[in-house]
Homo-oligomer: A and B are copies of this chain.
Amino acid sequence: MTHAPAADHLVLFMPSGKRGRFPKGTAVLDAARELGVYVESVCGGRATCGRCQIVVQEGKFAKHGIESGPSHISPKGPKEERYERVRGLAADRRLSCSATIEGDLVIDVPQDTIINAQVVRKDADTRVIERDPAVRMCYVDVEEPDMEKPLGDLDRLIVALERDWSLTGLTVDPWLLPRVQSILRKGEWKVTAAVYRDRDDAEPRLIALYPGLKNEAYGIACDIGSTTIAMHLSSLLSGRTLASSGTSNPQIRFGEDLMSRVSYVMMNPDGREAMTRAVREAINGLIGKVCEQGEIDRHDILDSVFVGNPIMHHLFLGIDPTELGGAPFALALSGAVCLPSSDIGLDLNPGARTYMLPCIAGHVGADAAAVALSEGPHRQDEMMLIVDVGTNAEIVLGNRSRCVAASSPTGPAFEGAEISCGQRAAPGAIERVRIDPETLDPRYRVIGIEQWSDEPGFAEASEKLGVSGVCGSGIIEVVAEMYLAGIISEDGVIDGSLAQRTPRIIAEGRTFSYVLKEAAPRLTITQNDIRAIQLAKAALYAGIKLLMDKLGIAEVDRIAFAGAFGSFIDPKYAMVLGLIPDCDLDKVKAVGNAAGAGARMALLNRNHRREIEDTVRRIEKIETALEPKFQEHFVSAMALPNKLDAFPKLASVVKLPERSADRPERDVEGGEGPRRRGGRRGRR
């Protein structure tokens, strides 16, 4: 604020809601800065970059006591008019560096300021993330060298950055030292500095320098899954996602699941190095792909955020994951990591930085942290359960006041492995199943075929495509439907007596199977398949129960299913099987690649980094293997949906079979205990 005695005007910024009084004539950008409202600006108020656009809201805002309108802001001056003429400016937009406050205002800061608009691609994740990136682009005019004041070129640049951008204590990436001189001359002493500042209390760092006005900077957010690597390319200045893509993790050739990769490292002297190289190469390739899609130069990428489970996290950083293969499952490092991308072999701008979210525990990685950041149980009052189902299920439960986390060794059954007719979710896989409780005949839907199996046109389509197996969601549904149809008991035993009613129940040795599809290839659900699902879901549920015990709660308000599996599963059937506790069905939702969304949040707003670091520090970690009650919960959870826990909300929507409440526990056949750590654990 100036010290002018002019009448102050009330200015409210949306969506942040921050407000303050400013003297007439204050530049809107200065007002925003003073209130801590993030408005991008590269050119430093010269009305050339166009990043600082705002919209004046018109009308009476009774709630705020403000009457706002175009007459309360200064008319366009010559600089802004020149920008409009040369670069174009939407009718309702103003440049906040040039427009000054002339009355009370409600100002909207659009989060999507599109400059030099390239094609905006569709993005699964359309959420708008408020921006405050770690990289700022700062245009400055540097004094020319002068024999009388023999300060070096770089030193004069630093002086200019301190003067115009209040960057005190700036340090400089060594790679720039030999380059500063020629860049300054190329830009005729006008340059744009890329300044990295992950934390406000750390020294700002000059990481890149461009001649003239550089009005773009990009970042990538990447989720390194053991099977798939997914990446988003975003503009750090507008927040837009320019491209999203994925590739398979080439480490698969060293081992399908996580444990086999750890074994590979233990058995092969160069194993760790080979896997680190493989994943970094794949990531560099994927960077090329998103840059091609987004039509940008990879050297304009200045920041990057990576997440992954602990083993992916370690291998990516070049750390031996062997310790994660056995108790006490010690992470080499659990805190957030911030380093130059070149140190881990990423081919980006030489000054680019990489941030990795913290890991929560030895089995609950930076990916789970990213999911928590994305879904934000710590930001809400409702008690939220987040389940990321994979070979290890990662579970976070909590709300604003307290969060707990654990992982449960579910094994790969939910992904179709260990199931006789199981397969990955791919064309030809049965993904939906309904069973008629009267006839016990099924109908199903197949990935790649529009119709259900009992609808016209299915036969032709299936002949053409082939129906090859049952994927994860299909298995969940068929087992749940078998239970609802009375084919299996609450203990998961296929009722052999039904063989009298339908030829679909067939004897196989001492147990029975259900024929889901007769025509070759014949697909049957065996007693062993049911057992595999029971073991997996009991492990998951027992982990959830431990967390609920820890918080002393009997029910959850909201459930988020993260990951690909969660996107395809029908919450109703998951609940019928007792994978998850009772909950309003409309409060159970799939959140897709929430890990990727969380990574993007950390990319675009460094406050989200502090938020998740703080949250992870506060999350209480439960090691399921150490909890005496795990076994007990596991045994109860072997039943469908559960031997002890009621599902009243589910029962109000789905007619559940009556419980044979007094059936003794020993009747649970083949009662293996839960999986142990260090045994088979696999991809997620």
Contact = CB atoms under 8 A, between A and B. Distances in A.
Nearest to A180: B332
A177 B337 contact: yes
A93 interface: no
A574 interface: no
B623 A154 contact: no
Contact of A330 (B181, B332, B340, B626): B181
Given A153-B332, A181-B330, A147 B320 contact: no
Contacts of A177: 317-319, 332-333, 337, 339
A174 B355 CA distance: 12
A88 interface: no
Contacts of A328: 145-147
Given A174-B340, A202-B203, A343-B175, A153 B330 contact: yes
23 contacts: A145-B328, A146-B328, A147-B329, A148-B621, A148-B623, A151-B331, A152-B330, A152-B331, A152-B332, A152-B334, A152-B335, A152-B359, A153-B331, A154-B333, A155-B334, A174-B340, A177-B332, A177-B339, A178-B317, A178-B332, A180-B333, A181-B320, A181-B323
Given A328-B146, A331-B150, A320 B182 contact: yes
Contacts of A646: none
Interface string A177-201: 1101110000000000000000000
Contacts of A621: 148-150
Nearest to A617: B151
Contacts of A202: 203
A145 B330 contact: yes
Contacts of A332: 152-154, 177-178, 180-181
Given A150-B362, A177-B318, 4 more contacts: A149-B621, A177-B333, A177-B337, A178-B318
A5 to B, nearest CB: 39
A479 to B, nearest CB: 33
Contacts of A154: 332-335
Nearest to A202: B203
Contacts of A362: 147, 150
A344 interface: yes
Contacts of A339: 174, 177
A519 interface: no
Nearest to A626: B147
A150 B181 contact: no
Nearest to A332: B181
A203 B198 CA distance: 13
Interface string A18-38: 000000000000000000000
A281 B360 CA distance: 45
A236 to B, nearest CB: 22
A656 interface: no
- Going nearest first, the 5 A-B pairs with the smallest beta carbon separation are A152-B334, A145-B330, A150-B361, A152-B331, A154-B333
Nearest to A201: B169
B178 A319 contact: yes
A328 B156 CA distance: 14
Contacts of A147: 327-329, 362, 623, 625-626
A621 B145 CA distance: 14
Contacts of A203: 202
| Tally of this chain's copies | 2
Interface in A300-354: 317-320, 323, 327-335, 337-340, 343-344
A356 B60 CA distance: 62
Nearest to A338: B171
Given A150-B361, A330-B145, A623-B150, A155 B320 contact: no
Contact of A320 (B149, B171, B178, B360): B178
Nearest to A171: B338
A60 to B, nearest CB: 49
Interface string A123-153: 0000000000000000000000111111111
A176 to B, nearest CB: 10
A317 B145 CA distance: 20
A381 B334 CA distance: 55
Contacts of A174: 339-340, 343-344
A625 B344 CA distance: 49
A146 B329 CA distance: 8
Given A178-B319, A318-B177, A151 B334 contact: yes
A606 to B, nearest CB: 16
A677 to B, nearest CB: 9
Interface string A475-495: 000000000000000000000
A332 B182 CA distance: 9
A409 B171 CA distance: 34
A614 to B, nearest CB: 15
B317 A155 contact: no
A158 B617 CA distance: 14
Nearest to A360: B150
B148 A626 contact: yes
Interface in A383-438: none
Contacts of A343: 174-175
Contacts of A181: 319-320, 323, 330, 332
Nearest to A157: B333
A78 to B, nearest CB: 35
A323 B147 CA distance: 12
A409 to B, nearest CB: 14
Contacts of A623: 147-148, 150
Contacts of A333: 152-155, 177, 180
A364 to B, nearest CB: 8
Contacts of A182: 320
Nearest to A624: B147
A171 B359 CA distance: 17
Counting chain B CB atoms within 10 Å of each CB, which of A146, A150, A327 scores highest? A150
Nearest to A331: B152
Contacts of A178: 317-320, 332
A171 B333 CA distance: 12
